[in-house]
Amino acid sequence: MKKIATFAAIALLTLPALAQDRKVYLDWAPKPDKMKEYTGANKLIIRLDDVLAKHKGQASWTEDVVETERYSAKWISMGPGEKTRTQFYGDDRTSWVVWDGQIRFTIKGQEPFIAKKGFLVQVPLRVPYSMEVVGNEPGLRFEVTRGGGILPSYPVDTKADFGAPPPPKDGQHYVKVSYPTVFVGGGMDTYNGVNKPYLDFMKDFVEKYPNGGPRGGLFMGDYDNQAAIIRGPGVAIPPATNKGHFHIGNDEFWFILEGKIAYEVEGKGLIISKAGDVVLALPGRFHRASWAPGQMDTRLAFNRSPTMQHNYAEDANGTQ
pLDDT in tens, 166-225: 999 999 999 999 999 998 899 999 999 899 999 999 999 999 999 999 999 999 998 889
5: helix, strand or coil: helix
> Which residues on neighbouring strands pair with residue 289, listed in sequence order?
263
Average pLDDT over residues 82-108: 97
Extended beta strands in the chain, E state: 45-46, 61-67, 71-78, 94-100, 102-107, 113-115, 119-123, 129-134, 139-146, 198-200, 216-222, 225-233, 245-246, 252-258, 260-265, 269-274, 278-281, 287-291, 296-303, 311-312
CA 113, 209, 220, 304 torsion-angle sign: positive
Q: What is the DSSP letter of 316?
A: G
Return the CATH fold of 2-316.
Jelly Rolls (2.60.120)
Buried (b) or exposed (e) across 302-318, using 16+ Cβ within 10 A? bbbbbeeeebbeeeeeb
- Per-residue pLDDT at 84 exceeds 60: yes
**Cβ partners under 8 Å of residue 97, min gap 6:** 118, 119, 120, 121, 141, 142, 255, 257, 300
Residue 180 vs residues 94, 150, 184, 185, 281: alpha-carbon distances, Å: 21, 20, 8, 6, 38
- Per-residue pLDDT at 6 exceeds 60: no
pLDDT: which is higher, 7 or 46: 46
Q: Which of 276, 305, 271, 302 is nearest to 288 (CA)?
A: 271
Read off the pLDDT band of 22 (50, 70, 90).
Answer: low
pLDDT in tens, 256-298: 999 999 999 999 999 999 999 999 999 999 999 999 999 999 9
**Cβ partners under 8 Å of residue 19, min gap 6:** none
Amino acid identity, residue 1? M
> CB of 128 within 8 A of CB of 153?
no
- Per-residue pLDDT at 164 exceeds 90: yes
| Lowest-confidence pick of 6-15, 38-47, 54-63, 166-175 | 6-15
Domain segments of the chain as ranges? 2-316
Strands 198-200 and 139-146: unpaired
